[in-house]
Structure 1
Amino acid sequence: MTRFAKFAALTAACAMTLGAGSALADQPADQELSKGDKKLAKLLEGRVAGEPESCISTFGNQSLRVIDGTALVYGRGKTIWVNTTRYPEDLDDDDVLVIRRWGSQLCRLDNVTTVDRSTGFFSGAVFLDNFVPYTRVDKEKSGDS
């Protein structure tokens, strides 16, 4: 199973278990989740995935978080954007992201490199993928009509 397929299955499990327990308990025993996958699953609880987009608008008061070995997460509040990158296993939350954008949006083709936080030396490149929006579901709207 590809990493994206596993991520999609995890997301679907999170969406189906709104307030009904942890999605992690529903995972088969042979598919052990990493610490980063568990952290991302917790962030996505109560949220529904939207259509992936190649670019997103960025604002100064939003945060870009690195989830070790898993994904980049941008935003806060009702909608967050998740980018699993081409090689998520290379993401390290001890590295500093250096983003060279071409315009006002953050896009999958932007140049992203990493620098070691303690030494300041180049430590790698990040190849962005599409950004998937996850929007918090209102409990009143998600009930039976």
Structure 2
Amino acid sequence: MNRFRPAFIAALPLALTGLCLSPLAAQDAEGQSVPDVETETTAEAAPPTKGEARLAKLIEGRVAGEPVRCIRSLPSQRMTTIDRTAYVYGSGNTIYVQRTRDPDQIDDDDALVTQRFNASELCRLDQMTTVDRVLGFFTGAVFFEDFVPYTRVKSNEGGEG
């Protein structure tokens, strides 16, 4: 998420000690130029986590749509929790992926408790908390982002006719 860090953030620890260096002319103690290590290279991308691999399997054969603020929510609607990755709502042709503001806090050992503004919709502004499934104590707050719909791609197996 922080792939493009501003140069002043990299120089911040030095500025706090009174040794602020210009990000354009960074040098070490011997006056040698220091290579700029601001961004991650895409060639060194980390392998997908278990959660990302599981989510990829769920959305396989589906196309992402325009994010929406609210989704229709029924008591019988299926919700899948993918550890440290996302909540997935629905089944069938369209599913909705909710990554939250801090996906690392998602734990499938916790139960998601929702205080809704509307009984038939689940929205990004609803108040969400998590509780331990066994002991029932509070484990955290959840802040939703927009829901991303993934719709199954229809194949044309019959050909043109």
Task: Report the TM range for the smaller structure's normalisation.
Answer: 0.7 to 0.9
Q: Which structure is higher in helix share?
A: 1
Which residue is 1:70 aligned to? 85
Which residue is 2:19 aligned to? none
Tell me which of the two structures has the higher relative contact order, counting C-alpha pairs closer than 8 angstroms and 6 or more residues apart.
1
- How far off is 1:31 after superposition? 2.2
Q: Please give the residue correspondences for 1:1-145 in structure 2 after superposition, counting only pairs within 5 Å.
A: 2=1, 30-103=45-118, 104-140=120-156
Which residue is 1:19 aligned to? none
- How far off is 1:95 after superposition? 0.2
1:77–1:28 Cα change, 3 Å: farther
Q: Name which one, 1 or 2, has greater alpha-carbon Rg.
A: 2
- Structure 2: which 5+ runs fail to align? 3-41
TM-score by length of 2: 0.69
- How far off is 1:53 after superposition? 0.4
User: In structure 1, how many angstroms separate the alpha carbons of the residues matched to 2:154 and 2:43?
Assistant: 29
Work out the number of aligned pairs and report it.
119
TM-score by length of 1: 0.76
What whole-Å deviation, never above 9, does each CA across 1:45-103 have from its counterpart, x for those lacking one? 00000000001111233211111000010000000000100000000000001000001
The one-letter code sitting in structure 2 at the alignment partner of 1:112 is M
What SS does the aligned partner of 1:140 have? coil
User: In structure 1, how many angstroms separate the alpha carbons of the residues matched to 2:66 and 2:54?
Assistant: 22
- Structure 1: which 5+ runs fail to align? 4-26
User: In structure 2, how many angstroms separate the alpha carbons of the residues matched to 1:37 and 1:124?
Assistant: 22
The one-letter code sitting in structure 1 at the alignment partner of 2:73 is T
User: In structure 1, how many angstroms separate the alpha carbons of the residues matched to 2:84 and 2:154?
Assistant: 30
Percent identity of equivalent pairs: 54
